[in-house]
Amino acid sequence: MIGLSATIHDVAQRAGVSIATVSYVLNGGPRTVREETRRRVLQAVEELEYHPNLTARRLAARKTKAIAVILGLSATYVFSGPYFSELLLGISETTAINGYALTLETYRSRPKDRQSFEFFHRVLTDRSVDGAILGLVETANLTRLQAILEGPTRDRLAPFVVLEPVADDSPFNRVVTDLEVSIRAATLHLIRLGHRRIGFIGGDPTYLSGSLRPAYFRQAMTECGLPVEDELVVNVHGTQAGGAEAMQRLLIKRPTAVFAANDMLTLGALSAIREAGLRVPDDIALVGFDGRYAEHIQPPLTAVHIPAYDVGRRAAEILIDLVEGRITQPWKETLRSELILRESCGRLLNRTFSFVEGFTGLHGTESSAARLA
């Protein structure tokens, strides 16, 4: 029988050998096969156009050659903004180049507490994938995963890399961006422009990054000797609707500048400013975070640009190294961001700065300096 329906039994019969011998030839072992026999088997494979069952071979080798991306929010949220598209592109291209299949797992809804932990735990323990990349993991679930990694059952978990700003002494493999440095830089930029009453729109504080972003903002203000009014720091669900709601609350207190913690929050904030009859930057300065829409909206937006593609690429590369045994210790990697200054703050336009560790100010080269008259 020729074609896709040919089986290993057909190959063995055509070559006049056992099924085990065919398996040894196709898998390169574990037993050696005489060269004459090997040629007969390969000739039979070619004549019958036999295609091995790759899934079965992977299972037999206890490797699936598949990696999961597990994102702890709904698919609707994940695909509503460009950040995750770039992140997933970086992951998918890297896995494809290295011969790995990719699966994506998201919450269908937003389960809480124990149920949400089981969402991550199931994928990491059912051996359907060789490893996983975890993003948008609630802080409580990170704590539970850390307890497993530090306990006697750690080997039951598939290797994984988190995209959360966990501490350097944690047992996690981690790829993140310089969150603290970038928020400090953007805050100092607004202060240098003369702003003192600055509002901050943060995301969901049940996630580590959602709680750290406003904390880093408060820290930067404090370092400059400026008070932070509690009413000017608002945490909401990180959507466009959440950004609009937060800005409406902030406008009651009328800050002179606002810093929003992701693209969708920024778009929502901008729409609320316009609905209130105000203009950016004339009435209020606006800084965004992620920066995917920044140069395409009016006015062009000053924003912290996060290298989402590179985050995805490095996370996939590190995970594959873990799966294939090239890395054995927890790997921590921090990628640099850029602060791109455009019209939404009113001055020092069209300049790009890269951040460095030990940040004490803005560092970088000026690409096209311009000032408002």
Taking only the tens place, the pLDDT of each residue in 253-299 is 999 999 999 999 999 999 999 999 999 999 999 999 988 888 888 89
Contacts of 25 (CB under 8 A, 6+ apart): 33, 37, 38, 41, 42
Q: Which of 69-73, 121-125, 141-145 has the highest mean pLDDT?
A: 141-145
Number of Cβ atoms within 10 Å of the Cβ of 330? 16
Residue 237: what pLDDT? 87
pTM of the model: 0.76
Average pLDDT over residues 47-58: 62
Percent of the chain at pLDDT > 90 equals 50
Q: Which of the four pLDDT bands, split at 50, 70 and 90, describes residue 361? A: very low
Q: How far is CA 43 from CA 7, 15, 206, in A?
A: 14, 8, 60
323-351 tens-digit pLDDT = 988 988 899 999 999 999 999 998 644 44
Q: Which domains does the chain have, with CATH numbers?
A: 8-52 (1.10.260.40), 66-176+310-335 (3.40.50.2300), 179-307+336-354 (3.40.50.2300)
The total of other beta-carbon atoms located within 10 Å of residue 353's CB is 21
- Find out whether the peptide bond into 227 is cis, omega within 30 degrees of 0: no
Task: Compare 168 and 284 and report the one with higher pLDDT.
Answer: 284
Span 101-129, average pLDDT: 76
Mean pLDDT across the stretch 4-14? 78
* CA gap 248, 244 in Å, rounded: 6
DSSP one-letter code for 304: E
| Band (32; pLDDT cuts 50, 70, 90) | confident
Enumerate helices (H) and strands (E) in the chain, giving the number of each.
Answer: 13, 13
304/344 Cα distance (integer angstroms)? 13
Tell me the CA end-to-end span of the chain in Å, nearest whole number: 81
Task: Quote the pLDDT of residue 293.
Answer: 80
CA distance 265 to 348: 24
CB of 184 closer than 8 Å to CB of 157: no
Nearest to 140 by CA among 168, 119, 109, 161: 119
| CA angle (163, 167, 172) in 5-degree steps | 55
pLDDT for 371 equals 26
Pairwise pLDDT comparison (221 vs 18), residue with the higher score: 221
* Residue 355, amino acid: F
